Amino acid sequence: MSPKLRVLPFLLILLPLDFIVVVSLLIASALGSMSVSRRSSVRKARRVLSEARATILILNWDGKHLLEECLPSVIGAVHRAGAGHEILVVDNGSTDGSVEFVRNRFPQVKVLPLDRNYGFIGGNNRGVETVETDLVVLLNNDMIVDEDFLVPLMAGFTDESVFAVTSQIFFEDQNRRREETGKTRARFERGFFYLWHAEIDDADVKVKTLPVFWAGGGSCAFDRKKYLEIGGFDTLYAPFYVEDVDLSYQAWKRGWKSLLAPASRVLHKHRATSSRKFTTSFVENTTRRNQYLFLWKNVTDHSMLFEHLKNLPRVHVSGMLRTGVWFEIQAYARAVLKLPSAIQRRIRNCVYYRLDDTEVMTRSQR
């Protein structure tokens, strides 16, 4: 018996959940269309931020050893970029002495100690709310930055429609395949989104910026006002992953750009924190769950939505063959549990959209 035939009986488990998803999204699509009819045409005036001050916000959770290694490069980059910029470590309730370490070793760095671990999403959102500069640069605590990384990021805010500018990413092991580059791309194929980092070629490094599908949440500068207007990273995706894709997609649909500045370079110790705290299976299953939630929350194009609903069984079979039957069932069931929250956000956000999904796909990957 072929592998596809062996997994077909397990689709029966997911059929009731598929029915719930289909009905919910069709109703939400109708309600969303009604809210679009009430859309306001008034746009707030904004100013160019290429010469604004920036706060480099580093989220930390029991990462004293990473801060010791990475903070000196950030301090050097801020010093090289000129006066007015600041560094803020937002500590997610660490128990390893991170707060005291930063205050004693790096007194020029501000520290915001939180009472507990709010995760990547909650910790960053709380930190951004306290920042007073126009630009905020979110950095993972396992990033070592080039001394010139900050200026190209800030120079990317050349017009009022720029939402985010992200860095080019390298790994410590130069022989390792660059799973992350910063040049993010996506395709919508047979009812599902596929996301990846594309190779950066010689033509890319010759330009100041180029559009990207999403700006990475651990190596990126944001327009703080736009970030807060969207609502920051969405807790729908807690504890992690796909929240930065969602944030940029929301910005694109509002008519705002996410860009890559190839001259801004960072070195990433890949998943140095999450890999210590969570199993690989949990990380990958949560990512799969969040891929469903991203689509249900964001896609309002009727043809794309119909294609997704029509292809749900095929998507399940593909997932089962790739990662295992129970892995796919678990991820999908976890997603359906959060479907009401995704639908709420979907209806609420429609009034803000200026671009449809097909236009976002085109503009974000030119």
C-alpha–C-alpha distance, residues 306 and 299, integer Å: 10
Q: What pLDDT is stored for residue 290 in this prediction?
A: 98
Exposed / middle / buried, residue 322 (Cβ in 10 Å: 0-12, 13-18, 19+) = exposed
Distances (CA, A) of 60 to 29, 76, 98, 122, 348: 39, 19, 8, 12, 32
In three-state secondary structure terms, 259 is strand
Enter the pTM of the model.
Answer: 0.94
pLDDT of residue 35: 62
Q: What is the pLDDT of residue 223?
A: 97
> 130-158: per-residue pLDDT in tens?
999 999 999 999 999 999 999 999 999 99
Residue that the structure tokens 């005291």 belong to: 100
Higher local confidence (pLDDT), 252 or 49? 252
**Which H or E element spans position 27?**
helix 11-36
User: Over 60: is that where the pLDDT of 41 sits?
Assistant: no
Domains and CATH numbers, the chain: 3-34+279-355 (no CATH), 54-273 (3.90.550.10)
Residues in contact with 276: Cβ distance below 8 Å, sequence separation at least 6, in sequence order: none
Average pLDDT of every residue of the chain: 92
Tokens 């997609």 sit on residue = 249
Range in 111-120, 170-179, 268-277, 294-303 the model is least confident about = 268-277
Q: How far apart are CA 269 and CA 284, in angstroms?
A: 18
pLDDT attached to residue 273: 57
184-235: per-residue pLDDT in tens? 999 999 999 999 999 999 999 999 999 999 999 999 999 999 999 999 999 9
Written as one string, the DSSP assignment of 85-108 is -EEEEEE-S-SSSHHHHHHHH-TT
Which of 27-36, 168-177, 281-290 ranks highest by mean pLDDT? 281-290
